[in-house]
Chains A and B, each alone.
Chain A
Amino acid sequence: AQSVTQPDIHITVSEGASLELRCNYSYGATPYLFWYVQSPGQGLQLLLKYFSGDTLVQGIKGFEAEFKRSQSSFNLRKPSVHWSDAAEYFCAVGVRSGNQFYFGTGTSLTVIP
């Protein structure tokens, strides 16, 4: 069965530090890959997505993600975190051959001054 794993439930980083949020998927072929962000009390907003081609994808708010086929991973990165980045981050996959869509369990990010 297809699955999306975000192994880190909660991460705390200092403002200005770099960030990497992990995401692994389990699927026989390369799915569509997404990262969404949810600020407190808000709905989810797309940060970036990967369809094909260049494995390094740039998103909004200075985020990027790298697709690594060999590791079935799609980790999200940001070189310098801002206090406003504190939120819940969700990795998601869309199955190309069908119509299923799965979210990971989310990683909560806390940014300390």
Chain B
Amino acid sequence: DAGVIQSPRHEVTEMGQEVTLRCKPISGHNSLFWYRQTMMRGLELLIYFNNNVPIDDSGMPEDRFSAKMPNASFSTLKIQPSEPRDSAVYFCASSSGLAGAGDTQYFGPGTRLTVL
């Protein structure tokens, strides 16, 4: 298996622009997680899906952030409009069950976002 695939790997944009991050989970996994990593706040869970349905989005920082999972093999995280404080590395991870079930999460390589 190719593992979790994220695109783009790097994104540089200007403040106010829309940013879309993409994730393809491991085939057969039914849970998908979006994380944000910064030096100041560490690794934060933004949202996770189970069977394409958002289960917990309490970590989404504000309405500028939205996430979708239209099917089992694809998810997007969108920031509109973007702000410099959104600069971070965004990770997507997938697992075969609910987070509370203790399943191993498999992480993608991340997208490094820079908002100027």
Tell me the A residues contacting B by CB distance below 8 Å: 32, 34, 36, 41-46, 49, 51, 90, 94-106
Given A101-B45, A105-B42, check contact A44 B107 (CB 8 Å).
yes
Starting from the known contacts A46-B106, A100-B56, 9 additional A-B residue pairs (CB-CB under 8 Å) come to A43-B91, A44-B93, A45-B107, A51-B102, A94-B102, A99-B56, A99-B100, A101-B99, A103-B45
A50 to chain B: closest residue by CB: B102
Query: Which residues of chain A have C-beta atoms less than 8 A from B60's C-beta?
Result: none
A106 to chain B: closest residue by CB: B42
How many A-B residue pairs lie within 8 Å, measured between CB atoms? 63
Tell me the B residues contacting A by CB distance below 8 Å: 4, 33, 42-43, 45, 48, 50, 55-56, 91, 93, 98-102, 104-110
Let me know if A90 and B43 touch, CB within 8 A.
Answer: yes
Let me know if B100 and A101 touch, CB within 8 A.
Answer: yes
Given A99-B56, A105-B42, check contact A46 B99 (CB 8 Å).
no
Bound: A106/B41 CA distance, A: 11
Let me know if B4 and A43 touch, CB within 8 A.
Answer: yes
